């Protein structure tokens, strides 16, 4: 087994960002990849003009790549926000306005995984109030995902980089997954296992894989320290992905790492070209 046995996709919100958004799908295809994922591309626009949605859809289709994951609106990402759905007022309203926009766009491209990022804790607001709002919004998002046959992903971030985020461990993310599924009865809320974030939290990654693979619907990787490509840090990513496969995970592995100073296309030397095309 090894990297060649995985199904990789490229996150076009952290890789190929030296290019305009509409050029990134073709660049990923030129690098040999057949699948891509995205954070919500319009950080200030939860409901962008239809022309912008159409242009991105066309860029993905023309490049011949499959969109396999898409985030709901999460404010400024990367940046201080890290999410919106649990923030009372304007941000959660933006999230709600964005839900069907994301679902419809994803459906038009056959995308089956939608990621909903929790918001930071807000000073002066009872955390219980934020959590109640979060569950309401996650239920709405799960129903929208179910409408298009997709899963709703819940991700744990890491405390050093997101100190105000309340979801900074695998057990906490799983707790939210279970609450959403209990509230909806749909069973389509799943764990997004980001090995970089979990390693930054100091979690035992082998134990996380053993405990939670059955509730995992997407995996993301970057090396640690540095959030660079595999091999730039000390995480045994090849071994960890092998463990995931042996535990029954057969979904995509999102490349969500920083390419460094060189162009993104030069950051894939760790992965043989023939292994970049996802086998469906």
Give catalytic residues, as residue numbers: 155, 256
Length of the chain: 280
Identify the residue whose tokens are 């949605």: 53
* Residue 36 CB partners (closer than 8 Å, separation 6+): 9, 10, 11, 12, 24, 25, 28, 60, 65, 66, 67, 68
What's the token pair of residue 130?
């934020």
Can you say whether the dihedral through the CA atoms of 227, 230, 233, 237 is positive or negative?
positive
Nearest to 69 by CA among 218, 201, 246, 184: 218
Rounded to whole angstroms, the Cα distance separating 213 from 53 reads: 33
Rounded to whole angstroms, the Cα distance separating 152 from 139 reads: 10
One-letter-per-residue 3-state SS of 83-103: CCCCCCCHHHHHHHHHHHHHH
**In angstroms, how far is the first alpha carbon of the chain from the final one?**
17
Bond before 212 cis per omega within 30 degrees:
no
């Amino acid at each position: 087994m090894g990297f060649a046995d995985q199904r990789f996709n490229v996150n076009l919100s952290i890789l190929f960002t030296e290019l305009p958004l509409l050029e990134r799908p073709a660049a990923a295809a030129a690098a040999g990849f057949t699948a891509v994922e995205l954070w919500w591309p319009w950080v200030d626009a939860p409901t962008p003009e239809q022309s912008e949605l159409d242009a991105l859809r066309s860029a993905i289709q023309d490049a011949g790549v499959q969109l396999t994951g898409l985030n709901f609106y999460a404010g400024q990402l990367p940046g201080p926000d890290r999410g919106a759905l649990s923030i009372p007022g304007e941000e959660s309203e933006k999230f709600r306005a964005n839900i069907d926009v994301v679902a419809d766009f994803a459906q038009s491209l056959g995308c089956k995984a939608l990621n909903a990022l929790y918001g930071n804790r807000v000073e002066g607001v009872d955390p219980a109030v934020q959590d109640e709002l979060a569950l309401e919004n996650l239920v709405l998002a799960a129903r929208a995902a179910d409408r298009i046959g997709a899963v709703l992903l819940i991700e744990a971030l890491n405390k050093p980089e997101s100190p105000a985020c309340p979801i900074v461990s695998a057990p906490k993310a799983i707790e939210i997954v279970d609450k959403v599924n209990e509230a909806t009865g749909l069973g389509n809320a799943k764990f997004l296992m980001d090995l970089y974030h979990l390693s930054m939290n100091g979690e035992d990654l082998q134990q996380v894989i053993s405990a939670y693979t059955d509730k995992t619907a997407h995996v993301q990787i970057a090396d640690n320290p540095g959030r660079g490509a595999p091999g730039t840090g000390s995480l045994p990513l090849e071994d960890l992905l092998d463990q995931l496969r042996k535990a029954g995970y057969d979904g995509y592995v999102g490349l969500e790492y920083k390419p460094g100073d060189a162009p993104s296309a030069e950051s894939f030397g760790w992965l043989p070209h023939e292994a970049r095309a996802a086998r469906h």
